[in-house]
Amino acid sequence: MHHGHGDDEQDPKEKIDYRATFRLILSLMKPRKAAFALAFAYMAASTLISLANPIVAKYIIDTAIPAKDSRMLLLATAVFFGNTVLFLIFNYLLVLQLVRTGQDIMVSLKERMLSHMLGLDLDYYSANPVGRLTARVQSDTSTLYALFTNTAVTIFNDALMFLAVFGIMAFYNLKLTLVLLPVFPAILALTWVYVRVTSPLSITVRKLTAEVSAFLTEQLNGIGVIQAFSREANTSARMETLNERKFSAEMRNEIYVVVFFLTVLFLHPAATAAVFGLGGTMVIKGTLTVGVLVMFILYLGQLFEPIFRFSEHISIIQRSFSAGHRISRILALRPALVEPKKPHFLTSVKDGIEFRNVWMRYGKESEWVLKDVSFSLPRGRSMAIVGETGGGKTTVTSLLFRFYDFEKGHVEIDGTDVRRLSLKSLRSAIGLVQQDIYLFPGTVMDNLKMMDSSIPDARVHEAIRLMGLEAFFKKHPLTKKVVEKGANLSIGEKQVVSLARAMVLDQEVLVLDEATSHMDPYTERLITGAIKHLLKHKTLIIIAHRLSTVRNVDRILMVSGGEVKESGTHGELLAAGGLYSKYYKLQFGDT
Amino acid sequence: MLSTIKWLYPYWRAHAVRMTVIVVFGIGSAVLHTVNPLLIKNIINGLTSSPNPEYIRHNVLMILAVGFGIYLTNLVAQRNRAYMNARLEWEFRRKVFDHIIRLDRNFYHKYTTGDLVTRLADDISEKISWFSCSGVFRFIQSIFTLAAVIFVMLRLNPRLSFWVLLPLPFILLLSIRTGRLLTGKYTELQESITALYDFLETCFTGIRVIKANAKEASQEAFFKSRTAGQREAEISTARLQIIFSYFWHEAGFISVALLYIAGGLMVINGTATLGELIAFQFYANMVVHPLMDISQFVVAGNRAGVSIKRINELLATRSALKFAAGGKAAAGCIRELDFRKAGLKNPKGDDLLLRDITFKAARGQRVALVGKIGCGKSTLLALALRLSEHDAGEILVNGADIRTLDLASFREKVGYTSQEASIFTGTIKDNILMDRPDVTPEMIDKALETAQLKQDMHKFPKGLDTSVGTRGFSISGGQKQRLAIARAILTGPDVLLLDDATSAMDAQTEDQFWKAFRREHPDTICLAVTHRAHTIETSDHILTLDGGRIAEQGTHAELMALGGIYKQIYERRKLEEELGERP
């Protein structure tokens, strides 16, 4: 699966607010203090246990073998074996504890993000493509997950190990330890330089990787033009240049990687030689035993392991901060439309909906999208809004849901201004059915309830019966799993599901945004029938694209250029021979 | 796996010297690795028997020398492997790209752009590149390391070798089993992640419906159950992962334990030296590591094999363009296009996309193509340009079969705009020029003027050198269209094919364009897909397409008199323009 290029990458110019990000990371860890404490305990245990093994080796060499005591040898081996098994167990517990805790943090962060994002205004959704939103919730959180599982604790682990190893070594031989000591800060400094040098280089490589995809997309999309103008050779030459740039960037980055790792790798035999050179003389002089010498060599191996991990830690920390920064920026956003201070709760729509001289535009400087729109819709009646795309049909219904606030005029439900109503109660009383939908991964039943498990199954069955859709849901049983956003259902079938959902959700007033797509006659009949049932039971506003719909509603509103041009029944408007009659011919004529 | 290696072999051969260097230095590094434990053995034995400072110093210096030797051999081998990974990635992509950009429209109907980009970018960069050199030759180096270590161990002390090697087959067997289980877990994990992505995508695209029905809370609750699913999958994968990692990193301890007890006893008995015992402890860890490379080779090799198949599929596609026997003639001035019962098969089925297309277009004529979406208008233009090759009938240019003409020289005489104006990253000038030679600034100026783009030039901060952004992101849709027209008429083509190139212009601008165009290019044959009623009715000839064939053709007056499908389309269009509806 392919989830968009470039968007998750670090922008080298991006200014990261380190303090806010650090606060976020800390606030995520704080509630799980106990879990991290347990992880630290496992960590300390496993590290200290693993450090005991070279001492066993020393014991075998210095004590058991010279004494020619096979029982001591057996005992030492048993200790070594048992010790290692214990280490593996503690290490297992440690890693698992970190995975569990990290997952807990991630799951709650993801939930917090989704809940926060669902509360944001629709403007946020029109400004950000869906791919970017999902990346924030999924990719950025998994980057942070790597921080909590791989880095946060391991860094302490490695530091603890360094201290303990040097402590043990110093206990056995201070002089030899002091000789080794400077090697490690030097490596640390080297690592720091390495990361500083390579991180811009590797960002360049990632950018070029994204550029390759972008170039390919653009050229292959324009292949017709390229061929038409016989530009194949030039296009190849460009691809060649880009390939070459990527190649050189990779080679430039790679040389540092190879040299750095091999240099650190070389320091190991160098340190070994130092220990043998200096320690050997001590052994000959009799101030050091062979066992301690071997122990030092074995410790060296353990000390070099974290060094290879260290550069990885630094890059994880860098990436986590840019991911955390993006997350904290989202969490800092506040919606403009919120519950009013003293909300009026709408329990039921008794009289109806009224628009009086409503003016609306999306920004102070923009053009009016609605100009002086008025209409009223009494309870139990139906109304269709027709007109050209972009003419203001959807904006009318958006105001009803208070997705946006209007500038002048009145939008009232039962005589109360919608801005005074509790948002939740308003949106619970009025429902929106959009026919062009993706279905959620889950069962057909879940989708009909819109994932609301508080709705009893009986209501779903009742709704299906009221809509006369029993046969349809026999063919597509309620337990059927929806896969890939509904790829196993046809467009028409998805629309039937969305209409049935409207009945299940059981709101008094419904806004129905009809789909424009055409479909086979069987599904068309099903949908027409379903809408007729809805008309019988609900107060309906329909953004209409279907002939049968406009014929059956009580009233039609012809909206064009943001204005209500005509209003009346189908018959009246047709007889008037105005804009609607032309529109009707165009939309539903026989071409 | 064998077919993967076979596929890669010619590429390796092309870099024979470098590949030999990689193998030789890889073997060198493998051999050097076996030396260090021997030196440690010498030092320990030297220290425990008869201490000789000279002998110790010699061996210590040897450790340094061998370490440096490993550094050098690895540097050469790794640097060259990295070079080859990147180099082969470059070569693979060049080969595939150069192949596919010459293929006809059948190919581009079969594969979407997204699919092709995935194959040329991700498959090549992520799956094939690393394996093509590092994957294979690290494996070879590991085999040599394993062989060399076992050889040295056996020479040194066969009985100790037995104890160290004893657990290996069991470790290998168990690790393969765990590996299989882990693959299953990875699939489950991936599925749970995909489910979350699907959910979020549905949730964010359906945000209006969710908010309008106040169902935020139930969405969150459902999301919770899904995240819990991913959490479980992550944890159970992690469990297995830890155990799996133990096989490679920690399993040597069983060998070491056997070594301590058996070897310790042998040292006590005098059948082994203490130095050998220590040396074997190092060897015990050295035999485990290559096993990891070997198992990685299998996993990465299988993935690379799948990707290679996907690449090969593209390379195996042949262009459908056919050429007449007996050489190609350079196209002269095109005076007439003559379609005779031309047809085109649907590459995805048995039906025909176009059939019985018969019409003539002569110098200075404008032919309008009208019809509903999907009736074959764009496909007809593709036939005229040979972006697709007709399967039936013939297409004649100046009375001669189009297939007898040299393709490049023919296309040089034709100007074309695609339906979605193809604008490429670069400047406005780059997009007009498209790297064509011998273009004077006056020609560019003239083309801008004719295409009605000149009046917009003052809006671009750097004029012709203004960058248009990725796919023309920073210029408007109308500007893109006019830019594409300027590109098409730049060199004064004999034939101009416009695929709905004027839809974003207002009626007045379009009228000015046609007038300017005729003034500048009085002889050009123009085939134009268009929805503008005025453009249609003023054309010299009109083709009305329906379901892949020409339903009606003639002049506006003739077709209106016919009272058929053209009349319907035309009147509907008029009405739409009146209502301000875009097509």
CATH of the domain at A22: 1.20.1560.10
CB A242 within 8 A of CB A274: no
Q: Looking at the structure, tell me whether residues A161 and A58 fall in a common domain.
A: yes
Tell me how far apart the alpha carbons of residues A501 and A538 are, in angstroms, rounded to a whole number.
13
CB A294 within 8 A of CB A176: no
Residue A5's nearest CA partner among A109, A126, A129, A106 is A129
> Best interface-test mutation with B: which of A216, A483, A488 has the largest number of B CBs within 10 A?
A216
Q: Which helix (H) or strand (E) holds A383?
A: strand A382-386
Q: Looking at the structure, tell me whether residues A417 and A521 fall in a common domain.
A: yes
Q: What is the pLDDT of residue A139?
A: 86
Segments forming the whole domain that contains residue B520? 365-378+414-579
Taking only residues 495 to 534 of chain A, the set having a beta carbon closer than 8 angstroms to any beta carbon of chain B reads 505, 507, 511
Q: Is A276 on the interface with B (CB under 8 A)?
A: yes
Q: What is the pLDDT of residue B582?
A: 47
Q: Looking at the structure, tell me whether residues B152 and B268 fall in a common domain.
A: yes
What's chain B's average pLDDT? Answer: 90
Nearest Cβ partner of A388 from B197, B407, B581? B581
Q: What is the DSSP letter of B119?
A: I
In a domain, B25, yes or no: yes
Share of chain B above pLDDT 90, in %: 61
Q: Is B155 on the interface with A (CB under 8 A)?
A: no
Nearest Cβ partner of A441 from B125, B198, B420? B198
Question: Which three-class secondary structure state does DSSP give residue B525?
Answer: strand
CB A452 within 8 A of CB B209: no
Question: Which three-class secondary structure state does DSSP give residue A186?
Answer: helix
Closest-CA distance, B188 to chain A, in angstroms, reads: 14
pLDDT digits (tens, 9 = 90+) for B301-321: 888 999 999 999 999 999 888
In a domain, B359, yes or no: no
Chain B residue numbers with beta carbons less than 8 Å from the beta carbon of A453 are: 218, 221-222
Which residues, 6+ apart, have CB-to-CB distance to A342 below 8 Å?
Answer: none
| Chain B nearest-CA residue for A256 | B79
Angle between helix A70-118 and B168-205 (nearest 10): 10
Q: Looking at the structure, tell me whether residues B141 and B262 fall in a common domain.
A: yes
**DSSP of B61-85, one letter per residue?**
HHHHHHHHHHHHHHHHHHHHHHHHH
CATH number of the domain encompassing residue B448: 3.40.50.300
Nearest Cβ partner of A251 from B86, B118, B201? B86
The H helix count followed by the E strand count for chain A is 22, 12
Angle at B329 between CA B327 and CA B330, to 5 degrees: 140
pLDDT digits (tens, 9 = 90+) for A16-41: 788 888 899 899 989 999 999 999 99
At position A483, the amino acid (one-letter code) is: V
Q: What is the pLDDT of residue A348?
A: 85
Contact between chains at B125 and A212 (C-beta distance less than 8 A): yes
Q: Looking at the structure, tell me whether residues B370 and B458 fall in a common domain.
A: yes
Q: Is A122 on the interface with B (CB under 8 A)?
A: yes
Dump strand ranges (E) for A463-591.
481-482, 509-513, 539-543, 555-560, 563-568
Tell me how far apart the alpha carbons of residues A282 and A293 are, in angstroms, rounded to a whole number.
9
Question: Which three-class secondary structure state does DSSP give residue B343?
Answer: strand
Segments forming the whole domain that contains residue A228? 174-287
Q: Number of structural domains, chain B?
A: 2
Contact between chains at A441 and B422 (C-beta distance less than 8 A): no
Closest-CA distance, B268 to chain A, in angstroms, reads: 5
Report whether pLDDT(B324) > 80. no
In a domain, B227, yes or no: no
Q: Looking at the structure, tell me whether residues B22 and B162 fall in a common domain.
A: yes
Question: Which three-class secondary structure state does DSSP give residue A382?
Answer: strand
Tell me how far apart the alpha carbons of residues A497 and A430 are, in angstroms, rounded to a whole number.
19
Q: Using pLDDT thresholds of 50, 70 and 90, give the confidence band for residue A6.
A: very low
Contact between chains at A65 and B582 (C-beta distance less than 8 A): no
First to last CA, chain A: 42
The torsion angles phi and psi of A70, rounded to 5 degrees, stand at -70, -25
What are the distances in angstroms from CA A503 to CA A472, A492, A507, B568?
Answer: 15, 17, 8, 40
**DSSP of A145-163, one letter per residue?**
HHIIIIIHHHHHHHHHHHH
Report whether pLDDT(A299) > 50. yes
A203 or A84: whose pLDDT is higher?
A: A84
CB A539 within 8 A of CB A379: yes
Nearest Cβ partner of B43 from A125, A262, A276? A276
Q: Looking at the structure, tell me whether residues A251 and A264 fall in a common domain.
A: yes
Q: What is the DSSP letter of B133?
A: I
pLDDT digits (tens, 9 = 90+) for B33-85: 999 999 999 999 999 887 788 999 999 999 999 999 999 999 999 999 999 99
Q: Looking at the structure, tell me whether residues A162 and A98 fall in a common domain.
A: yes
Tell the burial category of A376 from Cβ atoms under 10 Å away from its Cβ (0-12, 13-18, 19+): middle
Chain A residue numbers with beta carbons less than 8 Å from the beta carbon of B34 are: none
Q: Looking at the structure, tell me whether residues B277 and B374 fall in a common domain.
A: no
Q: Is A188 on the interface with B (CB under 8 A)?
A: no
Residue A183's nearest CA partner among A161, A162, A211 is A162
What are the distances in angstroms from CA A456 to CA A92, A335, A443, A466, A538?
Answer: 44, 32, 15, 16, 21
Q: Looking at the structure, tell me whether residues A186 and A110 fall in a common domain.
A: no
In a domain, A541, yes or no: yes
Q: Looking at the structure, tell me whether residues A124 and A158 fall in a common domain.
A: yes
Residue B359's nearest CA partner among B516, B500, B539 is B539
Q: Is A338 on the interface with B (CB under 8 A)?
A: no
In a domain, B394, yes or no: no
Q: Which helix (H) or strand (E) holds A431?
A: strand A430-434
Mean per-residue pLDDT, A134-157: 87
In a domain, B440, yes or no: yes
A544 or B442: whose pLDDT is higher?
A: B442
Q: Which helix (H) or strand (E) holds B517?
A: helix B507-520
In a domain, A341, yes or no: no
In a domain, A455, yes or no: no
Q: What is the pLDDT of residue B372?
A: 83
Tell me how far apart the alpha carbons of residues B34 and B486 are, in angstroms, rounded to a whole number.
70
Taking only residues 39 to 68 of chain B, the set having a beta carbon closer than 8 angstroms to any beta carbon of chain A reads 40, 43-44, 46-48, 51, 53, 56-57, 59-61, 63-64, 66-68
CB A136 within 8 A of CB A326: yes
| Chain B nearest-CA residue for A402 | B212
Lowest mean pLDDT among A217-221, A315-319, A323-327: A315-319
Q: Find where tokens 């072999």 sit.
A: B9
> Best interface-test mutation with B: which of A83, A90, A94, A99 has the largest number of B CBs within 10 A?
A99
Q: How many CB atoms lie within 10 A of CB B69?
A: 18
Q: Looking at the structure, tell me whether residues B150 and B266 fall in a common domain.
A: yes
* ipTM exceeding 0.95, yes/no: no
CATH number of the domain encompassing residue A535: 3.40.50.300
Angle between helix B136-156 and B35-48 (nearest 10): 30
Chain B residue numbers with beta carbons less than 8 Å from the beta carbon of A280 are: 43, 46-47, 53, 56-57, 60
What are the distances in angstroms from CA A224 to CA B258, B380, B475?
Answer: 70, 13, 21
Chain B residue numbers with beta carbons less than 8 Å from the beta carbon of A244 are: 90
Tell me how far apart the alpha carbons of residues B52 and B58 are, in angstroms, rounded to a whole number.
10
CB A252 within 8 A of CB A201: yes
Q: Which of A1-5, B159-163, B349-353 has the highest mean pLDDT?
A: B159-163
Contact between chains at A270 and B216 (C-beta distance less than 8 A): no
Distance of CA A51 to the CA centre of its chain: 41
Q: Pairing relation of β-strands A555-560 and A382-386?
A: parallel
> Best interface-test mutation with A: which of B199, B225, B412, B491 has the largest number of A CBs within 10 A?
B199
Taking only residues 459 to 488 of chain A, the set having a beta carbon closer than 8 angstroms to any beta carbon of chain B reads 484-485
At position A160, the amino acid (one-letter code) is: L
Contact between chains at B239 and A220 (C-beta distance less than 8 A): no
Q: Is A215 on the interface with B (CB under 8 A)?
A: yes
pLDDT digits (tens, 9 = 90+) for B164-204: 999 988 888 888 888 888 888 888 888 888 888 888 888 88
Q: Looking at the structure, tell me whether residues B554 and B439 fall in a common domain.
A: yes
Q: Looking at the structure, tell me whether residues A163 and A192 fall in a common domain.
A: no
In a domain, B231, yes or no: no
Q: Looking at the structure, tell me whether residues B432 and B298 fall in a common domain.
A: no
Greatest Cα pair distance, chain B, in angstroms, is: 119
Taking only residues 5 to 34 of chain B, the set having a beta carbon closer than 8 angstroms to any beta carbon of chain A reads none
CATH number of the domain encompassing residue B312: 1.20.1560.10
Q: Looking at the structure, tell me whether residues A22 and A61 fall in a common domain.
A: yes
CB B413 within 8 A of CB B344: no
Q: Is B250 on the interface with A (CB under 8 A)?
A: yes
Contact between chains at B201 and A437 (C-beta distance less than 8 A): no
Ramachandran assignment for A414, one of left (phi > 0), alpha (psi -120 to 50 degrees), beta (any other): left
Q: Looking at the structure, tell me whether residues A156 and A186 fall in a common domain.
A: no
Report whether pLDDT(B474) > 80. no
At position A277, the amino acid (one-letter code) is: G
Q: Looking at the structure, tell me whether residues A276 and A365 fall in a common domain.
A: no
Tell me how far apart the alpha carbons of residues B383 and A459 are, in angstroms, rounded to a whole number.
58
Q: Looking at the structure, tell me whether residues A91 and A239 fall in a common domain.
A: no
Contact between chains at B40 and A276 (C-beta distance less than 8 A): yes
CB B499 within 8 A of CB B417: yes
Mean per-residue pLDDT, B488-492: 93
Q: Looking at the structure, tell me whether residues A377 and A321 fall in a common domain.
A: no
A45 or A524: whose pLDDT is higher?
A: A45
Share of chain A above pLDDT 70, in %: 96
Q: Number of structural domains, chain A?
A: 3
Q: What is the pLDDT of residue A2?
A: 36
Q: How many CB atoms lie within 10 A of CB A361?
A: 18
Taking only residues 97 to 116 of chain A, the set having a beta carbon closer than 8 angstroms to any beta carbon of chain B reads 99-100, 103-104, 106-107, 110-111, 114-115
In a domain, B469, yes or no: yes
In a domain, B373, yes or no: yes
Q: Looking at the structure, tell me whether residues B264 and B373 fall in a common domain.
A: no
What's chain A's average pLDDT? Answer: 87
pLDDT digits (tens, 9 = 90+) for A348-387: 888 999 999 999 998 888 889 999 999 999 999 999 998 8
What are the distances in angstroms from CA B370 to CA A73, B111, B534, B560, B577?
Answer: 95, 28, 13, 14, 16
Q: Is B470 on the interface with A (CB under 8 A)?
A: yes
CB A73 within 8 A of CB B256: no
Nearest Cβ partner of B121 from A111, A212, A226? A212
Q: What is the pLDDT of residue A13?
A: 54
Contact between chains at A266 and B199 (C-beta distance less than 8 A): no
Taking only residues 291 to 310 of chain A, the set having a beta carbon closer than 8 angstroms to any beta carbon of chain B reads 293-294, 297
